[in-house]
């Protein structure tokens, strides 16, 4: 298996622009997670899905952030409009079920100027 796939790997954009991050989980995994990592706050869960349904989005910072999972093999995290404080590394992870070992993608490094 190719593991969790994320795109793009790097994104540089200007404040106010829309940003879309993409994730393909490991085939057969029922749970998908979006995390954000910064030096100040470490690794934080933004949202997770079970069987394509959002279960816990309490970590989504504000309405500018939205996530979707239209099918079992694809998810997006969108930021609109983006702000400099959104600069971070965004990770996607998947697991067989929500309490099982999570497997992480390589991350998307987002820079908002």
Partner 1 sequence: KQEVTQIPAALSVPEGENLVLNCSFTDSAIYNLQWFRQDPGKGLTSLLLIQSSQREQTSGRLNASLDKSSGRSTLYIAASQPGDSATYLCAVRGYGGSQGNLIFGKGTKLSVKP
> How far apart, in whole angstroms, are the C-alpha atoms of residue 2 and residue 37?
23
Residue matched to tokens 């959002």:
54
Question: Can you tell me which of 1, 2, 63, 101 binds partner 1, judged by CB under 8 A?
Answer: 101
- Contacts to partner 1 from residues 30-89, by CB under 8 A: 31, 33, 42-45, 48, 50, 55-56, 59
Counting DSSP H helices and E strands in the chain, the numbers are 0, 11
Question: Can you tell me which of 72, 76, 103, 111 binds partner 1, judged by CB under 8 A?
Answer: 103
Least distance to partner 1 from the beta carbon of 105, Å?
Answer: 5
> How far apart, in whole angstroms, are the C-alpha atoms of residue 112 and residue 45?
20
Least distance to partner 1 from the beta carbon of 46, Å?
Answer: 11
């Amino acid at each position: 298996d190719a593991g969790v796939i994320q795109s793009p790997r790097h994104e540089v954009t200007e404040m106010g622009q829309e940003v879309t991050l993409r994730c393909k989980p490991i085939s057969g995994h029922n749970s998908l997670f979006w995390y954000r990592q910064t030096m100040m706050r470490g690794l934080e869960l933004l949202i997770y899905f079970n069987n394509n349904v959002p279960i816990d989005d309490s970590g989504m910072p504000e309405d500018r952030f939205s996530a979707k999972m239209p099918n079992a093999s694809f998810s997006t995290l969108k930021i609109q409009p983006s702000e400099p404080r959104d600069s971070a590394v965004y990770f996607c992870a998947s697991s067989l079920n929500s309490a099982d070992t999570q497997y992480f993608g390589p991350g998307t490094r987002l820079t908002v100027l």
